[in-house]
């Protein structure tokens, strides 16, 4: 079967090579000469059009070959590194604060309902000490509030409630730690961009005064610096604002869970008569 297939393939290749040969032999010589003569003038404009189109295709290929990193680097240099560097520093510091907050909040997030159920089961099986042990093994502000409330459970419900409120405020402060710096970077980024804008316009007017001419070539450099620094500052502010809103939403969710869990803790202590009502 393989030999038959190879034979058919060889025959097909032979016919493929012989067919153009026969076609060229059968064609008259005069006809070919006239066709080639007629084809030459027609091909000339096409070649000229191809030569004219070549520079544009080369430009598009150069643009496509550049990656986003290369484009950002070029715009950074064109916008004057002296004014673009402060904006970049603000971006780096803002991202550092935002990432640290996101990681910390993610590690502090727990399943509230599951934790409350575990504490209640520990209270029923082993009392307050068993519940406090569950709180020690659990990370996050809810577990810390539960531990403080259970630790004061022998002093009465009123003391437990005051302890929960006081320690809840402490935990809220820890959750919001670093947010002031992030809001500062959000406000600072466009300010630095606008400063570069003002400096760029001043440079443009200085060049106009020095040259005595208001042609676009004279003021293009200063205006370009102004626009690039403004764009950079706005992009950084928008980018950090997205992180800020995400973190604020996450903090609000955790605070609501803390308040609901605090109510559940008081209910557990009252239902199981762990603490007195005085």
Looking at residue 80, its pLDDT comes to: 66
Average confidence score pLDDT of the chain = 75
**Is a pLDDT exceeding 60 seen at residue 206?**
yes
Per-residue pLDDT of 191-205, as tens digits, reads 988 887 787 777 777
Reported pTM:
0.67
Count CB-CB contacts under 10 A for residue 216. 7
**Is a pLDDT exceeding 90 seen at residue 72?**
no
Contact between 154 and 275 (Cβ < 8 Å): yes
DSSP of 55-66:
HHHHHHHHHHHS
Per-residue pLDDT of 247-269, as tens digits, reads 999 999 999 999 999 999 988 88
DSSP of 130-179:
HHHHHHHHS-SHHHHHHHHHHHTGGG-HHHHHHHHHHHHHHHHHHHTTTH
The residue among 182 and 271 whose pLDDT is bigger is 182
Contacts (Cβ under 8 Å, ≥6 apart) of 191: 233
Nearest Cα neighbor of 145 from 126, 121, 114, 169 is 169
Looking at residue 98, its pLDDT comes to: 94
Per-residue pLDDT of 88-146, as tens digits, reads 999 999 999 999 999 999 998 889 999 999 998 998 888 888 999 999 999 899 999 99
Cα–Cα dist 184/264, whole Å:
37
Say which residue the tokens 């504490």 belong to.
119
Per-residue pLDDT of 97-107, as tens digits, reads 999 999 999 99
């Amino acid at each position: 079967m393989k030999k038959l297939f190879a034979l058919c393939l060889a025959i097909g290749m032979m016919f493929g090579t012989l067919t153009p040969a026969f076609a060229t032999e059968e064609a008259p010589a005069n006809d070919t000469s006239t066709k080639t003569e007629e084809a030459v003038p027609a091909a000339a404009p096409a070649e000229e059009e191809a030569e004219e189109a070549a520079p544009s295709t080369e430009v598009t290929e150069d643009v496509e070959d550049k990656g986003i990193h290369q484009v950002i680097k070029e715009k950074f240099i064109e916008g004057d590194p002296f004014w673009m560097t402060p904006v970049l520093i603000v971006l780096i510091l803002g991202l550092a604060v935002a990432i640290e907050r996101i990681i910390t909040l993610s590690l502090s997030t727990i399943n509230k309902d599951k934790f409350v159920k575990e504490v209640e089961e520990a209270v029923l099986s082993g009392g307050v000490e068993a519940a406090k042990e569950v709180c020690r093994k659990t990370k996050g502000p809810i577990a810390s509030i539960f531990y403080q409330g259970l630790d004061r459970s022998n002093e009465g419900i009123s003391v437990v409630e005051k302890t929960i409120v006081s320690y809840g405020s402490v935990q809220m402060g820890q959750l919001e730690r670093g947010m002031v710096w992030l809001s500062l970077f959000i406000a600072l980024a466009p300010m630095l961009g606008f400063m570069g804008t003002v400096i760029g316009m001043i440079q443009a007017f200085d060049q106009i005064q020095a040259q005595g001419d208001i042609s676009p070539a004279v003021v293009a450099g200063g205006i370009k610096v102004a626009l690039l620094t403004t764009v950079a500052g706005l992009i950084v502010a928008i980018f950090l604002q997205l992180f800020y809103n995400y973190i604020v939403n996450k903090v609000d969710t955790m605070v609501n869970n803390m308040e609901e869990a605090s109510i559940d803790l008081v209910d557990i202590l009252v239902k199981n008569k762990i603490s007195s009502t005085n």
